[in-house]
Structure 1
Amino acid sequence: MKGIRIVLQIACLYFFYWIGVLIQRTFEIPVPGSIIGMLLLFFLLLSGIVKDRLLDEGSGLLLRYMPLFFVPATVGVIRYPDVFAGKGSLILLALLLSTFLVMVISGLVGQKAVELADKRKKRGV
């Protein structure tokens, strides 16, 4: 039963992706459909129309295995050493700096989201 629930939750997340792509293609918006779908889901979660517990297990599963999705990109970069021959150290520095910034900002946003969720639970919302 739990497996079916997770599959349905992931299908719901995919539905938001699909709606975002549909909106992007219909209105020819120069923003990727996945971003539009994510923003749509974000606003529905903020408004309370969609409850976060409805997507909790499916999104948790995807987040748990997310690092595996980056392996093909890393392997692809390794196949082109000539790109790093001239300015490789600068590219490596930019890569490390951007990774660090993403980690710090993601951590701060995550902490703020948990604090806000705790406040909402205390208020009984």
Structure 2
Amino acid sequence: MKIIKQLFWIFLFSLLGTIVSELISSFIAIPGSVIGMILMFFALHTKLLDIEKVDSVATWITANMAILFVPSGVGIMANFDVLADRWWQLIIIMLVTTTLTMILVGRSVQGIKRRDDAKKLNKERMGD
């Protein structure tokens, strides 16, 4: 019964994300699954939803994530002729987005590290 309750919460946020996605689709196209994850994050962060209510199922889903990519892989293989004509565009997109992601993450980590180092230095100075 615990697993069913945990699945309920995950599916509820997925449904809410899909509803919100449909409501805002005339303004911006964001997948319902992404919106659902964001809503669940905020519910967990603000303690509206306890982590214990989704922990076991979320851990299982994360551990078995490879299974969830099989339908996408099959879809890519089924539409390979469409992708074969645009392979160079896909390569460029992957290179640009990977580079931008690495730069963004690197700068973010550097900024956070500098801030933490400054806090530690201030605490040391205050303690002296």
Single out whichever of 62-71 and 83-92 deviates more from structure 2: 83-92
Q: Distance in 2 between matches of 1:56 and 1:99?
A: 31
Deviations 1:1-30 (A, max 9, x none): xxx2122101111011112233444xx212
Partner Cα separation in structure 2 for residue 74 and residue 96 of structure 1: 20
Q: Give the structure 1 partner of residue 11 of structure 2.
A: 14
- Taking structure 2 as the reference length, the TM-score comes to 0.57
Once residues 73 and 8 of structure 1 are traced to their aligned partners in structure 2, the CA distance between those partners, rounded to angstroms, is: 28
Cα separation, partners in 2 of 1:58 and 1:96, compared to 1, 3 Å = farther
Counterpart of 2:2? Answer: 5
Is 36-45 or 87-96 further displaced after alignment?
87-96
Stretch deviating more after TM superposition (43-52 or 86-95): 86-95
Aligned length: 102
1:51-90 matches, within 5 Å, as 51-88=50-87
CA distance in 2, matches of 1:51, 1:16: 14
- String of CA shifts for 1:57-104, please: whole Å, max 9, x gaps: 0111111222112112212222344345455355357558867969xx
- For 1:8 and 1:71, locate their aligned partners in 2 and report how far apart those are by CA, in whole Å: 26
Worse overlay, 39-48 or 28-37: 28-37
Query: What is the TM-score normalised by the length of structure 1?
Result: 0.58
What value does the CA root-mean-square deviation take over the aligned residues? 3.4
In the other structure, the counterpart of 1:29 is 24
Q: Give the unaligned 5+ runs of structure 2.
A: 106-128
Cα contact 2:9–2:53 (8 A) shared by 1: no
Contact 2:5 2:53 in 1 (8 A): no
Where does the alignment leave 5 or more consecutive residues of structure 1 unmatched? 106-125
Larger CA Rg, structure 1 vs 2: 2
